[in-house]
């Protein structure tokens, strides 16, 4: 119940709809009992006592009751659904908002698939309970209470005969659903596995065909297909095991009522009309009884689903703006003051200390995992440093308003991500109001305009999941154009040209020299040629700055920079020999 | 389109395409073809029909029995007859119990077997299709065929077909019994049937369609959510939260509106059915009591009639459901059959022979190729490569390097000329035996979900753990693998996104060396990797190429320089050929290329 209390703010505004729904439900359930009652009167008074003049009135009563009941029934269903969908609408908006503001460290821990299943299956399970799960439980109680009351009023002994079997039915129903639920879970899981197998196979079809592993893959697929088949058959097995019993108990009750009731009627202890009415009420309570298991499971599952939603809603987020945060502009200077960062027990950055004037270029060099990305991620406050301070424009990033800070910075990530929309909208992601000319200019600077213009739909081309496939280098150039377009004071290029060929990288860096004027730029790259013109080169090893200086200075001293330089240029020297040879000949 | 609309279209924040047609009109030929799958399981089919029909026959007798009980036993105060009838009734119910059991069993076995067979057939067919098939469509749409389209037939086969024929018979049975019992009362009671039919088909169609609209919108929402989570870092970095929230809330509101509409329609359905049923009952009693007065019917018969009337609805409703299922099945089966009817572009000829173990001599003889009629991708390409030689393919994107590779692995057939391996024309040998002897390392390595061990083993599924580790060691991948949390047993998630580009390449080298092919094709990655990893990759590559005939689409000078033959491509032709030293001696395309590289690096 605690879950419902904690999620109250989402459904409270719509409680009126729930009350309306419950009110109509009660009326419609009550009206259900009118039919058996009128049926009894028709048989007892009209047919057996020949009061034919009452017939029209009685059947009119049946029709009117059915009509009114229909209206209420519609109303209770509709209002219940509306209550559920409105609540889930608000909940979904809030979840979306929350997720778009969570810190990067949150996303380092969670899996997309897990989040998605919460946002889809769990949200829907919760909605369903609000929409009809709760109503169904109320309905169940009402039917059993009203139904029993009417049965007792018709004939208490016959009622006892029937009621004895009810617990058996309820027991089987609950047991059935308790087994059915995990079986359906299994079906979903095996379907998911089958889906993954097919998806990977198709995406990796080139690899499969390259190794001529079609038969191997087909075998793998058939195994998964078999387990999906078996989980379905097992579920059907449960139906096969339980359902006939539930049906049989319902039928047995009919036989008992016929036998005992018939005996009573014969001996004048009960009227024929009462017996017929009794029959029709019987179904009122046997049907919901056989659904009892489903109702209870629906409830427990919605509680579990609600908890998983609360996990998202209540997740900590330490990276938020303080009150009275700085919302101004920056000149672009960046300063790291004895910054440390750790993840769990491992230290990622240790005592990082440097400062950059506005407009300078900083290059970072080091092997994978040396902490380059972690360092630049502190500038837009994607993470908070554990020790020390990061200052942008002289203001501690934690005192900046988060949105204002990030608007000052353009970031190109290592993995370039494109959204499902036009190339234009992807470039304009950070500046949706940009003119076509601005976007094209940014694309030109990122060396992307040429390939975009060659696409049949140009800037209108759809990219992303279901759009056309672009090469890694093309995606990177679009991401670069996106960063250029926001016209940031600080530009962060995290290995932004790793997937383009050397020639393109060269051209991009030529163009960037122009873009970088007046901006503070952080560049992470592996080719010395891309870093050598930087005002400050930081060489990182194991989270520490091991060397710093300009290209010429670093070349003069022994150290990692020289080693890397030598490795990259060894080939080059061979070539320059050949080159001069060729020139000489 | 007006300029304004165009500008708007350009700026749509996110675009999500909907699924294809969700339903199609009925077509006999297609329906018959679909039914072929049912005939493949004669025992299950017979069982399913037999038990279903027997079960519903038993159910049909019950209302009549109750009527008889009221009239003959209760009406005539015969206790012994009452007990007799009750015993018969219970016996009938026991019979029904078994029929229900058996029919659930057979119907499900039948339906699931059909679906399993269809899906297996579709998958292995798609698996055999050539690259041109996969080039033409995004992976997502192929997935939708094999999963969703087949699944949408599941309802039809597990329930629809069997139960609807049973229902038709039940309906017929009820009508006959009623007519036999009393013609006039029967005809009057049947007044509501057309209306019920109308409800269960037409109203149901619009209800289903409106739910399809709801599902479409929900799937757009889910696509967006999925994308938002994956791209959340970009959204946060570019402060797009507010604009995206507006977009999302609009999407969500659209869904809400559709949902309200659909749920409203659905909520009408039940009550309207109830009222219709009551109308039937009212007519029955009104006229029935009239007949009773005249002594033409008994009370028991009237009660029996009321029961039969109550039994009308289920079969009619299920027939309406079948109608809906068939419309949906037409659309999905059409797409499934379209795939099944697609012939692979590259197939073994009738007399294709197995390619015997090769030594690795490769010859291209005036090879020509065009992906489409107007554009030749290769023309007049000839070369001779001796076993163990390495060939570097050099040139700009689109110059024809990849095409050479695709033809050598016979992913496509040359439009003219011949390719010979060990003097055998590769278009005359069995595809499987050809590709098994050629190793291919693609530029972006595909990592399957599973362990590192399983990923390397993909190159040769029967390799032992020891052999896998040896392969990894040979290409210097062992070091980084041992640094992963669980070594070779580390699970790679989300397509290996946690592995670096360089690590993925090393894995693909290990895969290839494990397969131990005589001919190796390698599309060298353009990516720049940190210098240390780069060095390791170069070492690994050297071992990988050792003793194999190799074709490398090369980007790195060191790889090119070491090649025995360098082929420089331009516009689908070989412009220059020779080894590095000889090519550097004369002015030309290659020398320019190297000099340019030098400029970029300096």
pTM over 0.95: no
Q: How does pLDDT run across B11-23, given as a tens digit for each residue?
A: 888 888 776 667 7
Q: Do B600 and A503 touch (CB under 8 A)?
A: yes
Phi, psi of A237 (to 5 degrees): -60, -35
For strands A536-541 and A544-549, give the pairing. Answer: antiparallel
Contacts of A245 in chain B (CB under 8 A): 97
Q: Is the pLDDT of residue A78 over 60?
A: yes
Q: Of the candidates A494, A555, A520, which has an alpha carbon nearest to the alpha carbon of residue A336?
A: A520
Average pLDDT over residues B467-485: 89
Query: Which among A435, A508, A511, A503 has a CA at the least distance from the CA of A477?
Result: A508
Helical ranges in A314-421 per DSSP H: 372-377, 402-407
**Which pLDDT score is estimated for B87?**
93
> What tokens does B29 get?
């030929």
Strand partners, A178: none
Interface test with A, best of B150, B236, B302, B504 (most A CBs within 10 A): B236
pLDDT tier, A1 (very low <50, low <70, confident <90, very high otherwise): low
pLDDT tens digit sequence for B189-234: 888 888 888 887 888 888 888 988 998 898 889 889 988 998 999 9
Q: What is the mean pLDDT of chain B?
A: 86
Lowest mean pLDDT among A158-162, A287-291, A363-367, B276-280: A287-291
- Assign B418 to helix, strand or coil: strand
- Above 90 in pLDDT, residue B419? yes
- Chain B positions touching A477 (Cβ under 8 A) are none
Hey, which bits of B453-494 come out as E strands?
A: 491-492
Distances (CA, A) of A295 to A133, A497, B329, B588: 7, 57, 32, 80
Closest CA to B84 of B73, B76, B94: B73
User: With pLDDT > 70 as the criterion, what percentage of chain A qualifies?
Assistant: 97
Between chain A and chain B, how many beta carbons pairs sit less than 8 Å apart?
Answer: 428
Q: Has residue A219 got a pLDDT over 80?
A: yes
**Across the interface, do A576 and B303 touch by the CB < 8 Å criterion?**
no
Predicted confidence (pLDDT) per residue in B487-545, tens digit? 999 888 766 667 877 888 889 899 999 988 999 998 877 666 777 888 888 888 888 88
Mind listing the pLDDT tens digit for each residue in A377-422?
999 999 999 999 999 999 999 999 999 999 999 999 988 889 989 9
- Asked if the model's pLDDT at residue B583 lies above 50, the reply is yes
Q: Mean of the pLDDT values across residues A104-116?
A: 86
- Cβ-based contacts of A210 with chain B (< 8 Å): 409, 435, 438-440, 442
Using an 8 Å CB-CB cutoff, list chain B residues near A524.
Answer: none
Contacts of A89 in chain B (CB under 8 A): 252-253, 255-256
Task: Give the CA distances from residue B320 to residues B23, B56, B149, B208, in Å, rounded to whole numbers and listed in that order.
Answer: 15, 18, 21, 11
CB atoms within 10 A of CB B222: 14
| Contact call for B532 and A424, based on CB within 8 A | no
Predicted confidence at residue A583, as pLDDT, reads: 46
Token output for B327: 């419309």
Beta bridge partners of B424: B421
Confidence (pLDDT) at A409: 94
**What's the half-sphere exposure (Cβ side, CA atoms, 13 Å) at A562?**
8
Contact B10 A232 (CB under 8 A): no
Q: Write out pLDDT tens, residues B48-87.
A: 989 988 998 898 888 888 888 888 888 888 888 999 999 9
* pLDDT-derived band at B355, boundaries 50, 70, 90: confident
Rounded to whole angstroms, how far apart are CA atoms A48 and A36? Answer: 16
Contact A432 B252 (CB under 8 A): no
Contact B238 A276 (CB under 8 A): no
DSSP sequence for A251-304: HHHHHHIIIIIHHHHHTTSS-HHHHHHHHHHHHHHHHHHHTHHHHHHHHHHHHH
Q: Is the pLDDT of residue A582 over 70?
A: no
Residue A363 CA: distances (Å) to CA of A383, A492, A567, B231, B601: 20, 10, 19, 26, 16
Question: With an 8 Å Cβ cutoff, are B289 and A42 in contact?
Answer: yes
Contacts of A1 (CB under 8 A, 6+ apart): none
Task: Among A449-453, A566-570, B151-155, name the one with the lowest average pLDDT.
Answer: A566-570
* Interface test mutation site (partner B, options A210, A450, A530, max chain B beta carbons within 10 A): A210
Of chain B, the percentage scoring pLDDT greater than 90 comes to: 26
Highest mean pLDDT among A14-18, A551-555, B124-128: A14-18
pLDDT band at B115 (very low <50, low <70, confident <90, very high): very high
The residue ranking higher by pLDDT, B136 or A84, is A84
Beta-carbon separation of B598 and A78 below 8 A? no
Mean pLDDT of B592-598: 77
| Residue A97: per-residue pLDDT | 95
Burial class (CB in 10 A: 0-12, 13-18, 19+), B293: middle
A576 has pLDDT over 60 = no
At residue B496, the pLDDT reads 65
pLDDT-derived band of residue B135, with 50, 70 and 90 as boundaries?
confident
Instruction: Please report which confidence band the pLDDT of residue B367 belongs to, taking 50, 70 and 90 as the band edges.
Output: very high
Q: Which of A243-257, A369-383, B383-397, B533-547 has the lowest mean pLDDT?
A: B533-547
Q: Residue B59: list chain A partners with CB under 8 A.
A: none
Range A312-338 average pLDDT: 90
Compare A140 and B599 and report the one with higher pLDDT: A140
Beta carbons of B458 and A85 less than 8 Å apart: no
Q: In what order do the strands lie in the sheet with A334-343?
A: A346-356, A334-343, A387-392, A395-396
Is B557 a residue whose pLDDT tops 80? no
Nearest residue of chain B to residue A45 (CA atoms): B289
Which helix (H) or strand (E) segment holds residue B256: the answer is: helix B241-293
- In this prediction, residues B449-465 reach a mean pLDDT of 89
Q: Which residues contact B214 (CB under 8 A, 6 or more apart)?
A: B255, B258, B259, B262
Q: Which residues of A touch B143 (CB under 8 A)?
A: 195, 198-199, 202
Cβ pair B119:A225 closer than 8 A: yes
Residue A577 has pLDDT above 70, yes or no: no
For the ranges A19-23, B373-377, B456-460, the lowest mean pLDDT is seen at: B373-377
Alpha helix positions (H), A33-133: 34-41, 55-99, 104-109, 112-117, 123-128
Find, among A90, A115, A100, A14, the residue nearest to B249 by Cα: A90
């Amino acid at each position: 119940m605690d879950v419902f209390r904690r999620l109250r703010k989402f459904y409270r505004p719509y409680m009126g709809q729930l009350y309306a729904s419950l009110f109509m439900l009660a009326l419609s359930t009550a009206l259900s009992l009118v039919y058996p009652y009128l049926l009894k009167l028709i048989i007892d008074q009209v047919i057996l006592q020949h009061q034919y003049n009452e017939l029209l009135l009685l059947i009119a009563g049946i029709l009117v009751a059915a009509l009114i009941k229909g209206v209420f029934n519609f109303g209770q269903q509709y209002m219940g659904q509306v209550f559920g969908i409105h609540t889930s609408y608000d909940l979904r908006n809030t979840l979306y908002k929350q997720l778009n503001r969570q810190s990067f460290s949150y996303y380092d821990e969670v899996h997309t698939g897990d989040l998605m299943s919460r946002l889809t299956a769990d949200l829907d399970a919760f909605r369903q309970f609000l929409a009809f799960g709760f109503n169904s439980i109320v309905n169940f109680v009402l039917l059993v209470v009203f139904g029993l009351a009417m049965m007792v009023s018709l004939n208490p002994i016959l009622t006892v005969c029937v009621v004895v079997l009810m617990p058996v039915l309820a027991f089987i129903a609950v047991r059935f659903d308790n087994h059915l639920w995990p079986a359906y879970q299994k079906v979903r899981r095996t379907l998911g596995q089958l889906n993954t197998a097919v998806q990977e196979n198709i995406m990796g079809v080139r690899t499969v065909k390259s190794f001529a592993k079609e038969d191997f893959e087909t075998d793998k697929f058939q195994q998964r297909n078999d387990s999906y088949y078996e989980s379905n058959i097992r579920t059907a097995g449960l139906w096969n095991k339980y359902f006939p019993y539930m049906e049989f108990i319902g039928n047995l009750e009919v036989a008992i009522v016929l036998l005992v009731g018939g005996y009573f009627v014969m001996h004048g202890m009960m009227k024929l009309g009462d017996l017929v009415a009794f029959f029709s009420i019987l179904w009122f309570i046997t049907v919901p009884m056989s659904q009892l298991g489903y109702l209870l499971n629906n409830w427990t599952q919605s509680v579990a689903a609600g908890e998983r939603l609360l996990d998202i809603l209540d997740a900590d987020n330490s990276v938020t703006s303080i009150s009275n945060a700085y919302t101004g502009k920056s000149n672009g200077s960046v300063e790291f003051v004895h910054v440390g960062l750790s993840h769990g027990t491992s230290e990622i950055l240790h005592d990082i200390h440097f400062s950059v004037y506005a407009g300078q270029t900083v290059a970072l060099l080091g092997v994978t995992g040396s902490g380059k990305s972690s360092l630049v991620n502190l500038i837009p406050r994607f993470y908070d440093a554990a020790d020390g301070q990061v200052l942008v424009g002289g203001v501690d990033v934690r005192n900046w308003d988060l949105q204002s800070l990030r608007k000052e910075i353009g970031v190109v990530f290592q993995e370039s991500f494109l959204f499902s929309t036009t190339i234009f909208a992807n470039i304009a992601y950070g500046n949706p109001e940009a003119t076509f000319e601005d976007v094209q200019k940014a694309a030109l600077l990122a060396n992307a305009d040429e390939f975009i213009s060659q696409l049949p739909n140009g800037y209108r081309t759809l990219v992303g999941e279901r759009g056309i496939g672009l090469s890694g280098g093309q995606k990177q150039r679009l991401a670069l154009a996106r960063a250029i377009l926001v016209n940031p004071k600080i530009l962060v290029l995290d290995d932004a040209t790793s997937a383009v060929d050397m020639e393109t990288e060269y051209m991009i860096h030529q163009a960037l020299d122009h873009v970088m004027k007046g901006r503070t730029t952080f560049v992470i790259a592996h080719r010395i040629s891309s870093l050598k013109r930087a005002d400050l080169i930081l060489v990182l090893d194991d989270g520490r700055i091991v060397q710093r200086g300009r290209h010429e200075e670093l070349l003069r001293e022994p150290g990692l920079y020289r080693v890397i330089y030598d490795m990259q240029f060894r080939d080059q020297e061979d070539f320059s020999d050949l080159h001069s040879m060729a020139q000489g000949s | 389109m007006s300029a304004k609309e165009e500008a708007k279209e350009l700026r749509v924040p996110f675009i999500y395409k909907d699924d294809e047609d969700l339903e199609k009109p009925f077509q006999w030929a297609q329906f018959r073809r679909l039914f072929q799958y049912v005939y493949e399981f004669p025992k299950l089919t017979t069982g399913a029909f037999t038990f279903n029909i027997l079960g519903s026959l038993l159910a049909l007798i019950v209302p009549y029995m109750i009527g008889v009980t009221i009239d003959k036993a209760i009406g005539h105060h015969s206790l012994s007859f009452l007990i007799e009838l009750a015993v018969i009734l219970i016996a009938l119910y026991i019979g029904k119990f078994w029929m229900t059991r058996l029919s659930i069993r057979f119907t499900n076995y039948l339906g699931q077997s059909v679906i399993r067979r269809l899906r297996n057939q579709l998958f292995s067919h798609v698996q055999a299709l050539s690259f041109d098939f996969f080039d033409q469509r995004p992976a997502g749409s192929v997935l939708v065929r094999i999963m969703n389209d087949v699944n949408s037939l599941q309802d039809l086969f597990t329930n629809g077909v069997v139960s609807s024929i049973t229902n038709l018979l039940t309906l017929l049975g009820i009508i006959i019994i009623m007519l036999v019992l009393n013609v006039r009362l029967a005809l009057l009671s049947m007044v509501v049937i057309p209306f019920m039919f109308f409800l269960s088909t037409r109203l149901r169609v619009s209800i289903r369609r409106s739910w399809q609209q709801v599902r479409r919108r929900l799937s757009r929402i889910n696509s967006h959510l999925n994308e938002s989570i994956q791209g959340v870092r970009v959204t946060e970095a570019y402060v797009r939260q507010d604009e995206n929230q507006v977009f999302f809330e609009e999407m969500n509101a659209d869904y809400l509106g559709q949902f309200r509409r659909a749920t409203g329609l659905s909520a009408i359905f039940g009550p309207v059915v109830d009222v219709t049923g009551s109308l039937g009952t009212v007519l029955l009693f009104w006229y029935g009591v009239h007949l009773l007065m005249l002594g033409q019917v008994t009370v028991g018969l009237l009660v029996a009639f009321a029961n039969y009337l109550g039994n009308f609805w289920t079969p009619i409703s299920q027939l309406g459901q079948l109608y809906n299922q068939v419309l949906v099945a037409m659309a999905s089966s059409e797409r499934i059959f379209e795939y099944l009817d697609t012939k692979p572009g590259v197939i073994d000829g009738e007399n294709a022979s197995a390619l015997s173990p090769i030594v690795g001599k490769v010859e291209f003889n005036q090879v020509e190729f065009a992906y489409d009629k107007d554009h030749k991708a290769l023309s007049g390409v000839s070369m001779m490569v001796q076993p163990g030689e390495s060939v570097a393919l050099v040139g700009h994107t689109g110059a024809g390097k990849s095409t050479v590779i695709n033809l050598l692995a016979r992913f496509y057939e040359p439009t003219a000329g011949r390719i010979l391996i060990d003097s055998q024309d590769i278009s005359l040998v069995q595809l499987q035996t050809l590709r098994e002897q050629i190793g291919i390392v693609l530029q972006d390595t595909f990592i399957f979900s599973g362990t590192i061990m399983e990923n390397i083993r993909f190159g040769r599924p029967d390799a032992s753990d020891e052999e896998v580790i040896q392969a990894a060691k040979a290409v210097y991948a062992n070091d980084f693998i041992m640094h992963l949390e669980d070594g070779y047993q580390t699970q790679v998630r989300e397509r290996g996104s946690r592995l670096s580009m360089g690590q993925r390449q090393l894995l693909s080298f290990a895969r290839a060396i494990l397969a131990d092919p005589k001919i190796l094709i390698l599309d060298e990655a353009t990516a720049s990797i940190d210098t240390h990893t780069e060095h390791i990759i170069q070492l690994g590559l050297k071992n990988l190429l050792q003793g194999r005939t190799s074709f490398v689409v090369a980007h790195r000078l060191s790889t090119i320089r070491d090649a025995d033959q360098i082929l420089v491509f331009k516009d689908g032709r070989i412009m220059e050929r020779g080894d590095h030293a000889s090519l550097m001696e004369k002015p030309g395309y290659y020398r320019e290329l190297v000099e340019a590289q030098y400029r970029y690096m300096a």
